[in-house]
Amino acid sequence: MGEAIFGAFGRGGFAREVMPIARHFLADRPDYGIAPDQMVFVDRQRGDAPVNGHAVLSEDDFAAHPAVRKYFCVAVGDGRLRQAITARALNAGYRLLSLASRHAVVMDAGISGEGAILCHFATITANVTIGRSFNCDNHASVAHDCVIGDFVTFAPGVRCNGNVVVEDFAYLGSGATIRQGTPEQPLRIGAGAIIGMGAVVIRDVPAGATVAGNPARILAP
């Protein structure tokens, strides 16, 4: 039994996408001492069968595992759920990893918090500031001078142009495009806002609002 284990919390579609990224990431970093057979999915309940060759442990099983060092990421799209799982895992003494695909591009960006997951062909360009536990799915991009808050989710193909502020817990759906702001007046996506698939956002989105369409408009309650 190895001294270290890695758990990807979640076993849905996004978690299954993240596990190969984690395998490659840890293969490039043998100092972590995590073999492929010590990489598992972690869910509320134990799985009856492996998923894509990896065991599914319950949170209790993961806690009881004898490994001395326990690393984790949270591969869950809902930012508030991601926050809750992260808090439980950190309180248990596990070590949060940030993961980046070999095919992700990170330029002069600052990722200030742990737990980011940058999937295949994600692109983060110049002078970008990113908070904790940013999930950036395949082919999503963040352009220059953006500020991304904590527990923000970009679904596949999001295009976030420059000078945009995306506040905590916002969710940007697949293919959404965010118009560029200016240094004096950045375009702002409010905390907890949901941007629908394919939406074209040309003005600020209030906190907690759900918008969709081209141009994006607030959906009626």
Active-site residue set: 144
Q: Are 176 and 194 in contact (CB under 8 A)?
A: no
With CA atoms as reference, report the closest residue to 16 among 72, 59, 54, 71: 54
Q: Check if the beta carbon of residue 164 is closer than 8 Å to that of residue 181.
A: yes
How far is 87 from 109, CA to CA, in rounded Å?
A: 25
* Residues 49, 2: Cα–Cα separation, whole Å: 21
Which residue, among 75, 85, 96, 57, has the nearest Cα to 8 in the 3D structure? 75
Q: Is 44 exposed, middle or buried (0-12, 13-18, 19+ CB in 10 A)?
A: exposed
Buried b (16+ CB within 10 A) or exposed e, 117-153: bbbbbbbbbeebebbbbbbbbbbbbbbbbbbbbbbbb
